[in-house]
């Protein structure tokens, strides 16, 4: 059976589940808050392009930097039509207007022919709830829900004054539906979490094995595991250097430490640039499986 182009173009959730981990020092050398915001936005957009489902932030310098990254990434994942209803005043978001639009499926489902939308409950009684989903009419769900709660609903019927729908779990949606954000107090805490939850851990470092020499090993890993986390370093230190600084033997945690940019033509590659490059290679290898 031939595969249609439309099927290949769909942003389906394909295995393994992808996560990336970035350090709080990502923004440590950027003092202009507009540029800081934009830098984090590039990370969020790269994650969405390559269907990353978890963005993990580990503290390697100031905890307030991790909070800034977390706030911006969470904001970016919220569909624009819900932001005024879900986001409170936050100084970390004062330059949110500088963020690039995400335009993932859960932001513009109509562009992908999807009748599932993110919404917020605006009224409820013991029998039903009214959900605002950014359309001309609200969705009625026959289920009592907490007012102010963010929910995912599938629209089932179009009535003159309202839509009828049902709440669905994000895990049941076959298309990529945005990312979650988690914060860890240290790189040690991050590694312990990943190991304990069964992630295959890949580390991106210029001191790692050249990608072409571990390509087969990486492909096998992607084929045989359910969850993969790619760990990145920051503007001053690669992940192996950050681990060494905290007395961590990175070999105990990382399945593969790879240099994804052989013969890089610049002194240093920014973290947000490295994320795009690494995820493009991993996406290519995933699609070959």
- pLDDT tens string 230-253: 999 999 999 999 999 999 999 999
Residues 160 and 182 in one domain: no
Residue 1 has pLDDT above 90, yes or no: no
Residues 37 and 76 in one domain: yes
In a domain, 98, yes or no: no
247-287 pLDDT, tens digit per residue, is 999 999 999 999 999 999 999 999 999 999 999 999 999 99
Q: Would you state the pLDDT for residue 4?
A: 53
Contact present, 179 and 53 (Cβ < 8 Å): yes
| pLDDT over 90, % of the chain | 96
**Consecutive H or E run containing 194:** helix 187-196
Residue 103 has pLDDT above 80, yes or no: yes
Q: 94 pLDDT band (50/70/90 cuts)?
A: very high
Residues 74 and 136 in one domain: no
Contact present, 218 and 256 (Cβ < 8 Å): yes
Domain with 157 in it = 115-171
Q: Which residues contact 151 (CB under 8 A, 6 or more apart)?
A: 118, 119, 120, 121, 131, 141, 145, 167
Q: Would you state the pLDDT for residue 2?
A: 43
In a domain, 239, yes or no: yes
In a domain, 87, yes or no: no
- Reading the block at residue 105, the tokens are 């499926």
Q: Mean pLDDT, to the nearest integer, of 71-83?
A: 98
In a domain, 282, yes or no: yes
Residues 277 and 194 in one domain: yes
Measure Cα distances from 237 to 43, 123, 212, 245 in Å.
18, 50, 23, 9
CATH classification at residue 166: 2.40.50.140
Indicate the pTM of the whole model: 0.95
CA-based nearest residue to 178, from 9, 11, 63 = 11
Q: Mean pLDDT, to the nearest integer, of 71-81?
A: 98
| pLDDT over 70, % of the chain | 97
Residue 6 has pLDDT above 60, yes or no: no
In a domain, 96, yes or no: no
Q: 16 pLDDT band (50/70/90 cuts)?
A: very high
Q: Would you state the pLDDT for residue 252?
A: 95
Q: How many domains does the chain divide into?
A: 2
193-219 pLDDT, tens digit per residue, is 999 999 999 999 999 999 999 999 999
């Amino acid at each position: 059976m031939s595969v249609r182009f439309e099927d290949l173009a769909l942003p389906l959730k394909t295995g393994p589940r992808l996560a990336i981990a970035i350090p709080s020092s990502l923004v440590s050398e950027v003092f202009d808050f507009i540029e800081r915001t934009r830098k984090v936005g590039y990370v969020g957009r790269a994650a969405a392009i390559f269907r990353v489902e978890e963005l993990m932030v580990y503290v390697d310098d100031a905890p307030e930097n991790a909070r800034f990254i977390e706030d911006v990434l969470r904001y970016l994942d919220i569909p624009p039509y819900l932001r005024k209803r879900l986001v409170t005043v936050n100084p970390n978001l004062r330059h949110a207007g500088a963020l690039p639009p995400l335009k993932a499926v859960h932001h513009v489902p109509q562009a992908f022919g999807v009748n599932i939308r993110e919404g917020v409950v605006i009224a409820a009684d013991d029998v039903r709830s009214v959900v605002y989903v950014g359309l001309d009419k609200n969705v009625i769900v026959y289920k009592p829900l907490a007012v102010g709660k963010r929910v995912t609903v599938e629209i089932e019927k179009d009535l003159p004054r309202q839509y009828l729908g049902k709440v669905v779990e994000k895990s049941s949606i076959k298309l990529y539906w945005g990312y979650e954000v988690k914060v860890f107090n240290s790189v040690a805490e991050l590694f312990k979490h990943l190991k304990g939850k069964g992630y295959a851990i890949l580390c991106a470092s210029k001191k790692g094995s050249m990608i072409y020499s571990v390509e087969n090993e990486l492909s096998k890993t992607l084929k045989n595991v359910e969850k993969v986390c790619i760990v990145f370093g920051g503007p001053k230190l690669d992940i192996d250097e950050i681990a060494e600084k905290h007395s961590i033997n990175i070999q105990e945690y990382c399945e593969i430490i790879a240099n994804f940019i052989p013969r890089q033509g610049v002194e240093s590659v920014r973290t947000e640039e490295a994320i795009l490059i690494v995820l493009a290679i991993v996406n290519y290898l995933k699609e070959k499986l």
